[in-house]
């Protein structure tokens, strides 16, 4: 069970993440802000709790691997990694998407930023790569895990299900996939674009262990991580994280316009005020 000190620590990190994200969105003239906000708690739980990594030695061979398959949410990845100590947040703010020499592109590029475990951007690519990393760990007798965060819209890609078959077929319980189930793609709601429900049944029928959580509930996320089987287990795990696109900012939540957009000064002010108020409520609720 997640202890309250851990959840409290993660809550602070999520608060910082949301504020940074909104400031960055305003500063650089647009982010995939809706999806960056929906995966906030997932990313913080992974980078601040789950991942066994050494930011000072990013190629440590026993590290857990992380693949952000929904690569358009690069800001989510960069901010999570900056918090974990991989690089200075200021450099990110100064150079994100800025000029040809930046290490922080719109989609994560390993050639530019070698501490990444993989480049990403084209949807449906992350899980096959993660399965390959997990297969390599099996060959080498290693017991680290490979985490892969996907968007829900992207699981329409056939390659996701090819990899889902393979992870189960090759008995790769060292694979942990997270589906950021914010129920929206670029064009609107997933169930109106191409229905995905029942998502859990699909994964289960492919031979995966399925855990459903409220993807904004840190306690549930921490519990899901704690309950993972050992990496040697034959069954891969998918965490279906039910989330809200644009979570935490009322005018962004469930609004397709906020898939990728810039925000002006006034919007930033309002968004930060809402994030602030929510944080105070949560902290108050915890201490009461």
Partner 1 sequence: MKLYAPKEKVVASARKVWCEAFAQVAETDSRVVALTADLSRSTITEIFREKFPDRYFNVGVAEQNMVGMAAGLALSGKIPFCNTFAPFAAMRAGEQFRTDACYMHLNVRLVAGYAGISQPAGPTHSGLEDAGIIRGMPGSAVVSPSDLSMVKKIFEASLEYQGPMYLRFGLGKNEPYLYAEDYDFVIGKAIETRPGTDATIITHGMILQDALIAAEKLEEMGISTAVLDMHTLKPLDTEAVISAARRTGRVLTMERHSILNGLGSAVAETLMEAGVPCRFKRLGIPDLYPSYGDPARLADKYGFGIPAAVDTIAGWVRES
- Give the contact letters, 183-222, x = binds to partner 1 (CB under 8 A), - = no: ----------------------------------------
Strand-by-strand arrangement of the 146-151 sheet = 65-68, 146-151, 175-181, 237-242, 209-214
Q: Kindly state the smallest distance separating residue 285's Cβ from partner 1, in Å.
A: 41
Q: Which residues does 105 contact at the CB level (< 8 Å), separation at least 6?
A: 74, 97, 112
- x/- string (CB under 8 A) for partner 1, residues 133-162? xxxxx-xx-----x-----------xx--x
Q: Does 119 bind partner 1 (CB under 8 A)?
A: yes
Tokens of 215: 């993807």
Binding residue (CB under 8 A) for partner 1 from 34, 35, 105, 128: 128
Interface residue with partner 1, options 76, 131, 179, 268 (CB under 8 A): 131
Q: Which of 54, 165, 198, 277 binds partner 1 (CB under 8 A)?
A: 165
In whole angstroms, the minimum distance from the beta carbon of 178 to partner 1 comes to 17
Tokens, residue 66: 């992380």
**Which member of 121, 207, 229, 256 binds partner 1 (CB under 8 A)?**
121
Residues near 223 by Cβ (< 8 Å), separated by ≥ 6? 1, 2, 213
Which lies closer to partner 1 via its Cβ, residue 21 or residue 163?
163
Q: What gap in Å lies between CA 26 and CA 259, rounded to an integer?
A: 14
CA 131 to CA 203: how far, in whole Å? 15
Integer Cα distance of 270 and 189 in angstroms: 25
Q: Which of 45, 48, 80, 118 binds partner 1 (CB under 8 A)?
A: 118
Distance of closest approach, residue 123 Cβ to partner 1, in angstroms: 11
Characterize 229-250 residue by residue with b for buried, 16 or more Cβ atoms within 10 angstroms of its Cβ, and e for exposed: eebeeeebbbbbbbbbbbbbbe
User: What is the distance between the alpha carbons of residues 172 and 231, in angstroms, rounded to a whole number?
Assistant: 8
The verdict on 169 binding partner 1 (CB under 8 A) reads yes
Residues of this chain that bind partner 1 (CB under 8 A): 109-111, 117-119, 121-122, 124-125, 127-137, 139-140, 146, 158-159, 162-163, 165-166, 169-170
């Amino acid at each position: 069970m997640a202890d309250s000190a851990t959840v409290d620590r993660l809550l602070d990190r999520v608060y910082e993440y949301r504020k940074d994200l909104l400031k960055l969105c305003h500063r650089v003239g647009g982010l995939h802000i809706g999806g960056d906000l929906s995966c906030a708690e997932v990313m913080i739980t992974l980078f601040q709790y789950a991942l066994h990594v050494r930011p000072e030695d990013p190629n440590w061979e026993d590290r857990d691997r992380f693949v952000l398959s929904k690569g358009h949410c690069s800001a989510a990845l960069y901010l999570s990694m900056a918090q974990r100590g991989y690089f200075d947040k200021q450099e990110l703010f100064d150079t994100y998407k800025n000029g040809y020499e930046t290490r922080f592109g719109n989609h994560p590029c390993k050639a530019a930023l070698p501490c990444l475990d993989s480049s990403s951007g084209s949807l449906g690519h992350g899980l096959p790569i993660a399965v390959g990393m997990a297969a390599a760990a099996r060959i080498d007798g290693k017991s680290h895990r490979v985490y892969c965060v996907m968007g829900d819209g992207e699981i329409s890609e056939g390659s996701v299900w090819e990899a889902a078959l393979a992870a189960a077929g090759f008995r790769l319980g060292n694979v942990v996939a997270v589906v950021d189930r914010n129920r929206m793609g670029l064009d609107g709601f997933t169930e109106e674009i191409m229905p995905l429900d029942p998502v859990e049944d699909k994964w289960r029928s492919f031979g995966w262990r399925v855990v459903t959580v409220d993807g904004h509930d840190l306690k549930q996320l921490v519990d899901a991580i704690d309950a993972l089987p050992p990496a040697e287990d034959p069954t891969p795990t998918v965490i279906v994280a039910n989330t809200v696109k644009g979570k935490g900012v009322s005018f962004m939540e469930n609004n397709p316009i906020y898939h990728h957009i810039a925000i002006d000064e006034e919007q930033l002010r309002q968004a930060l005020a809402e994030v602030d108020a929510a944080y105070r409520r949560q902290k108050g609720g915890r201490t009461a």
